[in-house]
Structure 1
Amino acid sequence: MLRAVAAGRAELVLGCEPDMLVDGVACCDQVTAHDLARAGLVRPARLGLVGHRVPAALTHAGHAVLRAGTSVA
């Protein structure tokens, strides 16, 4: 999922625990999507309203995990 975010293929549906879409399709593992957001590895790339889809972006921590190849979930 982090690789999809890094490649610009992911979106978040904004909410208290954002859902993730990859290539416009809802991820089958929303628990992991929530975990990534809660852990501060992914974030919305821009502001938006609850329920709206916005591009997903990696945080500095997300980039570090991806570079290290560390499993987070």
Structure 2
Amino acid sequence: MTTMNAPLSNRGMATLRAVAAGRVEATCSIEPDLRVDGLFCSDQITSHQLMHAGYIRLADTQPPTTWVPAELTLAGRLLLNLPVAGPIAEAA
């Protein structure tokens, strides 16, 4: 997991809050696309940065281009100051 050096934009933070609320799906791919409330997220750069920085991940592994829920990683939860209940298994 890598982390971003620059602070996240308001849009990035809003995307993380939407993931925390369970409103985001992502495609199973190296460069995942996101949908928020069923609508495509038009800021692909932010979406890709959040995934590659290790703040969000796919909740399930499916064939490429399949939509699955997105979830916060431990780093994403800490960035949003959300409580961490119990152990969280980080993706390798």
TM-score clears 0.5: yes
Q: Give ranges in structure 1 of 5+ residues lacking alignment.
A: 69-73
Q: Give ranges in structure 2 of 5+ residues lacking alignment.
A: 1-14, 83-92
Shift in Å, 1:27 = 0.5
Is 1:44 aligned to 2:58, yes or no? Answer: yes
Rg (Cα) greater in structure? 2
* 1:71 paired residue number: none
* Count of residues paired in the alignment: 68
Distance in 2, Cα, partners of 1:26 & 1:67:
26
Is 1:22 aligned to 2:36, yes or no? Answer: yes
Root mean square deviation of aligned Cα: 1.1
Q: Which structure has the highest strand share of the two?
A: 1
After TM superposition, what 4+ stretches of structure 1 lie above 2 angstroms from structure 2? Answer: none
TM (norm. structure 1) is 0.89
Query: Tell me, what secondary structure is at the counterpart of 1:2?
Result: helix
* 1:32 paired residue number: 46
Query: Kindly, what percent of the aligned residue pairs are identical?
Result: 49
